[in-house]
Structure 1
Amino acid sequence: MAQVETRKPAELDIPNIYFDLLGFAPDSGSGSRLDVYIQIPYENIFFLKEGPTFTASYELTISLLDSNKKLIKEKLWNETVKTEFYEETISPKHYKISQQSFLLPSGKYFIRVQIRDNQTKKSISATKSIELRNYNDSKFSASDMMILNKLTYEGEKKIISPNISGNVVDLPGGFYVFLEVYNYLSADTLQLDYEIFKDERKVIRSGTSIHPLQTTKNAIFFKVNSNELPIGEYILNVILSPKNFSNSTDENFRFKYSLAKPFSIHWRGMPTSIVDLDAAIDQMIYIEDAAELKRIKSLPLNEKVAAFKELWKKKDPTPNTERNELMEEYYSRVEYANKNFKHYIDGWKTDMGMVFIIFGSPNNVDRHPFDIDSKPYEVWYYYQLNRQFVFVDESGFGDYKLVTPIWDIWQRTR
């Protein structure tokens, strides 16, 4: 079992930067073209009022590292955002997307993206990995998939708006996906089969579409039915099959190509750690009446969602904003408890998890794992409450039980 540490409130779960990595075949030569898309929500950058305009500026750095995490290339530039509306400066729905491309040999890479606010001088970074393919190795292959927020038309030209975060909650009717298919066979038709997975690879949604194929590069768009999927994390799996060969030699081979892309459904203003609504309702037991939680869980899905949101709305310290800071802090504590106090049961259900969720991180911890004359125990000190809580490992297997009364002070925090 991990040890409790001091942590700042509600910083575990607030996203500050989104970026996506996509590999495509280059226009010429071998290797891959890596496209890096970065999305910066306006609410996460600092705006200054300059006359009638609000202006923000920040520095972006993309660092490319090889499979040994050795730096091989880096690009740095500045971006500026302007708006005349204050409401946009604090809105998670408004954002700026930046994009850079790199030509690289095939192989595994680590991509680090850093944003530095030019006003506050604060920075944050994140790292992802990608395996880039050599598209010259196959007669039939495909790029990575891009989830779209919007697909529109200007005449016969398609205009795409990429979804960088992977959250499709604002696309309740389903979402479009874009990819390129590279065809050097004699096939003139593509069969595209998709499946949506969640929890132990169980298929919960599937679909098929047929597309015409040209020789070489083909832009493929297809729609995924995500209607009424509950909140959570998902995997979109796609199988591409060329059909209708004019050359019998090609037809003798079974060409198939598979791709996978994660996506999620998370309500705006709610922590991304909430991936199961019933579990999130159960986890409110430390601050809400058990009978009320049972009633909410028994409701039909749409009513359950509305009741859950209303329950938290009543506790929102800033009801005029989209974010609910109390909810973010509460579920960040649940997430921390699950990561650090899990034993035979989920961490939030343990005694240490309960105390951590209710009171937060202790000011000090006194640990006694090897005292000769006593079983292992810990003392958590909360100076602002003038209280201490003692946990004893009666079994010797790290299952610490609370031996200090808690109910009096707990009732005052509800």
Structure 2
Amino acid sequence: MRFLMKRKSLTICLIFLNLILSFSLFAQQQDTLSFITEDQFHFNYDFNFFRTGVNNTLMELYYSVSRNNLEFVPDSSGWVANFICVGEIWQNDSLLMQTPWSNVDRIDSVAQIKPGQRLYGVGYFPMKPGDYLLKIYMQDRNSGFQRSYQSEVHVDSFATDHLDLSDIQFASQIRHSDQQNRFYKSGFTVIPNSDRLYGTGLPMLMFYSEIYNLKKPQEPDTTKYSVTYRIIDSDGQVVREFPEKVRLKPGASAVDVSGMNIISFPSGTYFLELQVKDLFSGEEVSKKGKFFIFRKGDLAMSDSAAAANARKKIEAAYERVYQEMTEEQINEEFNAAKYIATGEEKNIFKKLDMKGKQAFMVEFWKKRDKTPETAKNEFRDHYLRLVNTANQKFREMKHGWRTDRGRVLLLYGVPDEIERFPYSAENKPYVIWKYFSIQGGVITN
């Protein structure tokens, strides 16, 4: 392993030689380094039903992935991420439909990747009434990281002889458009919000729905229909009702697109109720959709007594964790933490019996918890996730955290950028890890 420093940019590169001289494409994918663990990976999906044709149902499947969860690799035009999402519809252990959607994201520089950015996709399945199983598979083609999900799906038919409504599709953005794309429908580009989460970063609750079977008007006053919106909390209480809107009928069907600012609402689970009334026939129909609001400030604990009480509960929880571990498991955890332990802590740990080690480990992680007011020790959880990642990815030794790459990962975290260089006549294959934020160089033991 070599360490390089560019003085002007203070960029530190960690170069690891790959001792394998030749390998297949599949082996390359498996050896590709990905630092995303199961609980760090942010992939969401949602689905809604709409009428298509006279008596058919279309299921729209929405999905999104955090941009910084994907691995970008250099190409001739900059950097590119590539992931595939596959949707399957099953019924009675039989595969009825399978559709893959390829997704490519190109950027000029990795500096364009910011926290909170999401990449969205949508797919479609024509469905008949019945019960199904939806299976979703997602894979990052650059890193090889993959996950799978499944949900039970019940499909009803839409009415043909009376007023009816589609599901409410929650969106992160809706705009008028005359250019058809994968998110286009009925004159709008509708970017889905697949986790239905709104709040400080997304203060506008935006949604799309379709109205079916409006009656043909016979008199001027009956050419209209009305729409009413209500927001209901998790206790079933109406927390806001908006004034009724009266609109002209464009035909037997209509599209309802709207948005409202919900930034003043506290964090919680809510329901949007949409009610439509045909002013000619007098028919009414309503539909509800669940959504969520999260504002970070709502969870801040200002009461010091409550914070202290919560801290005691956290410590008691970790005491139980170590009481259930064997001495060998506790030793293994501390050994993996030696990179961040002081010399004094190492000497003390050697002299402790089982009960002493249990108490020591609680205090060891407590001193390093940067957010003691929260319900868990994020520092410990993050560090042990990195240990697990090192064990999975760096298999030159039984314990991946003991390798050079494992040690660097635990000391400095996930690299800001990774460059891979294949085998050539002059060099063996190698990988460069770049850390842009480290000042003054790297110190190794």
- TM-score normalised to the size of structure 1? 0.61
Q: Equivalent residue for 1:3?
A: none
> Aligned to 1:218, which of 254, 259, 277?
254
Q: Equivalent residue for 2:86?
A: 61
Q: How does 1:6-85 map to 2 (within 5 A)?
A: 14-26=40-52, 28-66=53-91, 68=92, 70-85=94-109
> Aligned to 1:197, which of 232, 237, 242?
232
Task: Look up the SS of the partner of 1:277 in the other structure.
Answer: helix
Letter in 1 for 2:298: L
Q: Equivalent residue for 1:98?
A: 121
For 1:360 and 1:55, how far apart are their aligned partners in 2? 46
Q: Equivalent residue for 1:266?
A: 294
Letter in 1 for 2:212: Y
Retained in 2: the 8 A contact 1:363–1:381?
no
Question: Offset of 1:98 from its aligned partner?
Answer: 2.1
Retained in 1: the 8 A contact 2:319–2:362?
no
Retained in 2: the 8 A contact 1:209–1:222?
no
- RMSD over aligned CA atoms reads 3.9
Task: Look up the SS of the partner of 1:135 in the other structure.
Answer: coil
Question: Offset of 1:118 from its aligned partner?
Answer: 1.3
Q: 1:93 to 1:10 in 2, by over 3 A?
A: closer
Question: Offset of 1:178 from its aligned partner?
Answer: 1.0
Q: 1:69 to 1:232 in 2, by over 3 A?
A: farther
Q: How does 1:398-413 map to 2 (within 5 A)?
A: 412-413=367-368
Matched, 1:206 2:241: yes
Q: Which moved more, 1:404-413 or 1:41-50?
A: 404-413
Q: Equivalent residue for 2:278?
A: 242
Question: Offset of 1:11 from its aligned partner?
Answer: 6.0
Retained in 1: the 8 A contact 2:214–2:249?
no
Q: 1:220 to 1:408 in 2, by over 3 A?
A: closer
- Stretches of structure 1 lacking an aligned partner (at least 5 in a row): 1-8, 271-275, 283-288, 295-345, 367-378, 391-402
- TM-score normalised to the size of structure 2? 0.57
Retained in 2: the 8 A contact 1:21–1:130?
no
Question: Offset of 1:121 from its aligned partner?
Answer: 1.5
Q: Equivalent residue for 2:211?
A: 181
Q: 1:55 to 1:173 in 2, by over 3 A?
A: closer
Q: 1:355 to 1:166 in 2, by over 3 A?
A: same
Letter in 2 for 1:134: S
Q: How does 1:97-176 map to 2 (within 5 A)?
A: 97-153=120-176, 158-169=188-199, 174-176=204-206
Retained in 2: the 8 A contact 1:30–1:105?
no
For residues 189-221 of structure 1, what are the alpha-carbon distances to aligned partners after superposition, in whole Å with 9 as ceiling and x for unaligned?
Answer: 332222222232222222133332233221111
Retained in 1: the 8 A contact 2:200–2:263?
no
Q: 1:13 to 1:194 in 2, by over 3 A?
A: farther
Task: Look up the SS of the partner of 1:382 in the other structure.
Answer: helix
Task: Look up the SS of the partner of 1:230 in the other structure.
Answer: coil
| Greater relative CO, 1 or 2 (CA 8 Å, sep 6+) | 2
Letter in 1 for 2:99: K
Q: Equivalent residue for 1:382?
A: 330
Q: Equivalent residue for 1:286?
A: none
For 2:328 and 2:55, how far apart are their aligned partners in 1? 59
Task: Look up the SS of the partner of 1:281 in the other structure.
Answer: coil
Identity %: 13
For 2:102 and 2:135, how far apart are their aligned partners in 1? 16
For 2:262 and 2:163, how far apart are their aligned partners in 1? 28
Retained in 1: the 8 A contact 2:81–2:106?
yes
Q: Equivalent residue for 2:388?
A: none
Task: Look up the SS of the partner of 2:196 in the other structure.
Answer: coil
- Stretches of structure 2 lacking an aligned partner (at least 5 in a row): 1-34, 179-185, 217-221, 335-348, 370-445
Task: Look up the SS of the partner of 1:196 in the other structure.
Answer: strand
Q: 1:223 to 1:92 in 2, by over 3 A?
A: closer
Q: How does 1:193-342 map to 2 (within 5 A)?
A: 193-207=228-242, 208-243=244-279, 245=280, 250-251=281-282, 255-266=283-294, 277-278=298-299, 281=301, 290=304
Retained in 2: the 8 A contact 1:197–1:203?
yes
For 2:287 and 2:43, how far apart are their aligned partners in 1? 25
Task: Look up the SS of the partner of 1:216 in the other structure.
Answer: coil
Question: Offset of 1:30 from its aligned partner?
Answer: 2.1
For residues 374-404 of structure 1, what are the alpha-carbon distances to aligned partners after superposition, in whole Å with 9 as ceiling and x for unaligned?
Answer: xxxxx997334667569xxxxxxxxxxxx98
Q: 1:129 to 1:389 in 2, by over 3 A?
A: farther
Letter in 2 for 1:103: P
For residues 122-147 of structure 1, what are the alpha-carbon distances to aligned partners after superposition, in whole Å with 9 as ceiling and x for unaligned?
Answer: 21122334433312444211111122
For 1:115 and 1:10, how far apart are their aligned partners in 2? 14
Letter in 1 for 2:330: Y
